[in-house]
Amino acid sequence: MIDIKLIRENSELVKENIKKKFQDHKLGLVDEIIELDKKVRELKLNGDNLRKERNTISNEIGILFKDKKIDEANQKKKVVVDINNKLTSIEEEENKLSSELKNKMMMIPNIIADDVPIGEDDSKNVEEACFGEANVPDYEIPYHSDIMASFSGLDKEAAGRVSGNGFYYLMGDIARLHSAVLAYARDFMIDKGFTYCIPPYMIHGSAVDGVMSFEEKDNMMYKIEGEELYLIGTSEHSMIAKFKDQLLKESELPITMTSYSPCFRKEVGAHGIEERGVYRIHQFEKQEMVVICKPEDSESWYEKMWNYSVELFRSLDIPVRKLVCCSGDLADLKYRSCDIEAWSPRQKAYFEVCSCSNLTDAQARRLAIRYKDSDGNKVYAHTLNNTVIAPPRMLIAFLENNLQKDGSVLIPSVLRPYMGGKERLIPNK
């Protein structure tokens, strides 16, 4: 959510930003917000004036009773009753319009960075850099589910019977590999100075509205029936919401956390659920990194965070590239974002494995996350998030890039301690 002052003082900038994000259907919201804001401020002013008048009259009533002027005091009391009735009406209207104003404000996208590429959708994202040589071996790389099947490591048929489409069983060495990369990613981030966290896997609706747009909420989140609780789609949701309504100390910043959680997503939209493999599914596990910092530090943290992703994937012998997200591909709360994509030698193309975002103060405004600076001012913090590792999707890149001609899979040296010292996986089919 952006600052209401920006809409009041520079509505054309806000409208231009909306156009850059190809959301012209929201342009009318800006004028509606300006009008609502005007009405709310008028109601607040009227209410404040009535409260002052009531206080003045109440003081007069006390004096009149003291002077035994009972009739005059009782007449004044009637005026106070009339003021109270007017205040009740004004406060009800103010609360109603304030709620409407907030809902409309939460639909306005965050102002994007000046250097974000302008484009309608992810087809206009821009490759910025590649890391590692994207090789294609002289032998066939099978589909990832077939590689997993060669180790008796994937059972989607049974998962379909138990849970339906979009779920899976991982077994044996593949399940162990899944856990190993999560443990390695956890320790990788701890070594970078991040605090390890395991957050709640369900959060209140007010927390959901604080971390994402209404549209994302509808497309992603599973609601618990009969409860005001949602299953998280990523641990970022509960990690950022941990600081809801908090006034932090400047000395506490930056707060750097790495969190593990299962993630649950409806995956409503153009992509849908993958029938055969485990690329797009309803349930997966993830190691996440989250930073809460001062505004002047968020851009440097953004650079650090996506670079951590590159370093991690390169340590697992996986070539990657950085893809800068264009304006139309940015979720509403994002100031800028990039994807780290892993090389798929089977597809001879890259695919997304990490998403790094700077949301400036958009989430902090929704969740009222502030800190007190050295001058005593209460300042909204900036929030950032990035995927560390999200298996089983990243296992696709791992298996394809480490698959050998004989069907075995090499285990990079950094991962061997988490795999019981194994140097390679040997297929049993």
| Confidence label for 216 from pLDDT (cuts 50, 70 and 90) | confident
Residue 272 has pLDDT above 60, yes or no: no
Q: Are residues 166 and 197 in the same domain?
A: yes
Same domain membership, residue 126 and residue 97: no
Residue where one domain finishes, among candidates 75, 105, 135: 105
Q: How confident is the model at residue 423 (pLDDT cuts 50, 70, 90)?
A: very high
Average pLDDT of the residues of the chain: 93
Domain coverage including residue 273:
122-425
CATH number (domain holding residue 74): 1.10.287.40
Total of domains in the chain? 2
What mean pLDDT do residues 182-197 have? 98
User: Which of residues 105, 133, 149 is at a domain's end?
Assistant: 105
Write out pLDDT tens, residues 41-67.
Answer: 999 999 999 999 999 999 999 888 888
Q: How confident is the model at residue 306 (pLDDT cuts 50, 70, 90)?
A: very high
Task: Using pLDDT thresholds of 50, 70 and 90, give the confidence band for residue 71.
Answer: confident
Q: Is residue 157 domain-resident?
A: yes
Distance CA 46, CA 52 (A): 10
- Residue bearing the bigger pLDDT, 421 or 391: 421
Whether 136 shows a pLDDT value over 80: the answer reads: yes
pLDDT at 274: 54
Question: The tokens of 353 are what?
Answer: 């494995």
pLDDT for 103-121, tens place per residue? Answer: 999 999 999 999 999 999 9
**152 pLDDT exceeds 60?**
yes
Least confident of 92-101, 127-136, 143-152, 273-282: 273-282
For residues 129 and 93, membership in a common domain is answered with: no
Residues 24 and 52 grouped into a single domain:
yes
Strands 154-155, 169-170: pairing kind: antiparallel
84 and 206 co-located in one domain: no
Is the pLDDT assigned to residue 270 strictly greater than 60? no
Q: Is pLDDT at 271 greater than 80 in this prediction? A: no
